[in-house]
Amino acid sequence: MTTTKKIRTKVRCVEMSMQETLHFISEVKLHKCLWDSTHADYKNKLARDKAWEALAISLGHNADDLVAKWSSLRSSLRQYRCAVRRRAKDGDPDALQVVKWPYYSALSFANGSGEDAEPPAISRRKVLVQPGHSSIKPVSTSAWNSPEHHPVQNHAGTTNEPEFIAIKVEALSNPPSPEQPTVPEETHGCSARSGKDEDDVYGHSIALQMKQFSPRTKRKLQIQIQELISSAQKQAFEKEFGIAYDT
């Protein structure tokens, strides 16, 4: 007897612009059975399915895709809170780079009981608020087909925004800016562990921003970042040894 292996269809996480995501969050907020564990229908599968179907009709997306999108947002929310709390507990507030996640305030209603409505005050040093000034080189138009990198006009005439705040990636060999002078190592009060924590938090913030992009878009961003790092390494080699890296 031949057994037939059932193949499960992978549910995709639908991509949305920032405005679309904020609208989606506001619509989910109206259906308390989907997020409020104290609601009478929170464990009622039929009621929850009806709520998701209503959202699917309203937003024009498949219900399963919306469920996956909501799960992704909740996961990102937990990671963001964890990163901020770890930074507040272990690091110097002015030494670590933490990115303000744009959906945190909108998702405050989804916080569990006893959790803060807002995270501790965070430093946003080196957070770029004007995406047009990012140090990341743009990919050519012919190779960049992802919808989130082609702003389109919506019905109100406004331009869709990217899902995350852009981060300025600086070359490793760049000298420190005048307002941030280098502190001699012998007078430095921080241990090597603090530096490692700073890198960990910065890396986590980048990963958090890239989480909801498509695999193709994430791969392009990873290639760009790696090219910047490679270029900085070559510059450092040439500066130290006085010869070109490729010779």
The values of phi and psi at residue 7, to 5°, are -100, 120
Percent of the residues in the chain that have a pLDDT greater than 90, as a whole number:
18
pLDDT at 25 > cutoff 60: yes
Check residue 52 and give its pLDDT: 95
Residues 33-57: what's their mean pLDDT?
Answer: 93
Residues 195-212: what's their mean pLDDT?
Answer: 72
Give strand pairing partners of 153. Answer: 159
Check residue 4 and give its pLDDT: 53
For residue 229, how far is the Cα from the chain centroid?
20
Domain parsing of the chain, residue ranges: 18-107, 204-241
Check residue 162 and give its pLDDT: 39
pLDDT at 13 > cutoff 90: no
Asked if residues 68 and 12 have their Cβ atoms less than 8 Å apart, the reply is yes
Q: What share of the chain is helix, strand, coil (3-state, %, to 5)?
A: 50, 0, 50
Structure-token match 């639908």, residue found: 14
Q: For the chain, state the CA radius of gyration.
A: 22
Q: How confident is the model at residue 247 (pLDDT cuts 50, 70, 90)?
A: low
pLDDT at 105 > cutoff 90: no
Q: Alpha-carbon distance 227 to 72, whole Å?
A: 29
Give strand pairing partners of 167. Answer: 127
Structure-token match 């909108």, residue found: 106
